[in-house]
Amino acid sequence: MKFVAGRRQLLKAAIVPAAGVAPIAFVRDAAADTSPLPVSREYFTAAEFAWIEAAVDRLIPQDALGPGAREAGVAVFIDRQLAGAYGRAETWYMQGPWKQGTEQQGYQSKLTPAALYRAAIGDVDAHCRSAYQGKAFVALDAGTQDALLHALEDGKVELAHVPAKEFFDMLLQNTIEGFLADPMYHGNRDFIGWKLIGFPGPRYNYVDEIEQHGRRYGQPTVGLLGRDGTRVKDA
């Protein structure tokens, strides 16, 4: 699945509604606060965090449909995930042998996700400086960033320490997760992702609305932490 398909198509492919369930119409809150958040990083360096923000901004950009991954705090979500059990691959089988597997066999690298990100970001920037007159990824224009992300997706860039496509696939998956996760995990700020796809949140039931096909659902969006304070505040 190419990320160029457009973010609505990308997110529709990521979340396929159950057969027979009618979508809930939702009006996006145009007044949502998308100003930059103060960030206390837990894993990334400042340069790595800037790299991730630039990359996720190209994968799910702000457009006429609303704010994108940068505004939704996806980089913060990924930072927190890599600083935790996911980044350390605590529940994964990480013993050898490490051989080139098939796509169906899943993740085969000896690197944890956190180590994969760190190595890949360094490798991509090294490639950029070599290919683009000394410029790092964050200094490239949007079109050039897109072209490079396509090349990573297609495995057409030779990185020094990690397979390009393997890194891109993880980055894209984590970007979608951060855009659509409950805000308590530091992404989906102000329910940006849920408002885009029309999901009003995990209310305990929709008994009164379930048969109201095609009608706008009027209740405010709610997360696991409630409807106000839509993401956990940084310490």
SS3 at position 226: strand
Q: Where are the alpha helices (DSSP H) in 154-210?
A: 164-180, 192-197
* Other CB atoms within 10 Å distance of the CB of residue 57: 19
Is position 30 within any domain? no
Q: By the 8 A CB rule, do 160 and 126 touch?
A: yes
Is position 31 within any domain? no
Please tell me the number of Cα atoms within 13 Å of 137 on its side-chain side. 26
Is position 21 within any domain? no
Residues 6 or more apart from 15 whose CB is under 8 A from it? 180, 197
- Residues of the domain holding 172: 37-59+66-90+108-235
DSSP code, position 209? T
**Tokens coding 32:** 């949502």
What tens-digit pLDDT sequence spans the chain (235 residues)?
A: 565 545 555 665 555 443 333 333 333 343 445 555 556 889 999 999 999 999 999 999 999 889 999 999 999 999 999 999 999 999 998 888 888 777 777 788 899 999 999 999 999 999 999 999 999 999 999 999 999 999 999 999 999 999 999 999 999 999 999 999 999 999 999 999 999 988 888 887 778 888 888 888 888 888 988 875 444 454 3
Counted residue by residue, the chain has a size of: 235
Is position 221 within any domain? yes
Query: HEC states along 44-113?
Result: CCHHHHHHHHHHHHHHCCCECCECCCCCCCHHHHHHHHHHCHHHHCCCCCCCCCCCCCCHHHCCCCCCCH
Question: What is the structure's pLDDT at 15?
Answer: 53
Compute, in degrees rounded to 10, the torsion defined by CA atoms 135, 137, 140, 141. Answer: 180
Is position 216 within any domain? yes
Is position 195 within any domain? yes
**Tokens coding 99:** 């051989």
Question: How many whole angstroms separate alpha carbon 24 and alpha carbon 200?
Answer: 8
One-letter identity of residue 159: L
Is position 122 within any domain? yes
For the chain, the domain total comes to: 1
Is position 26 within any domain? no
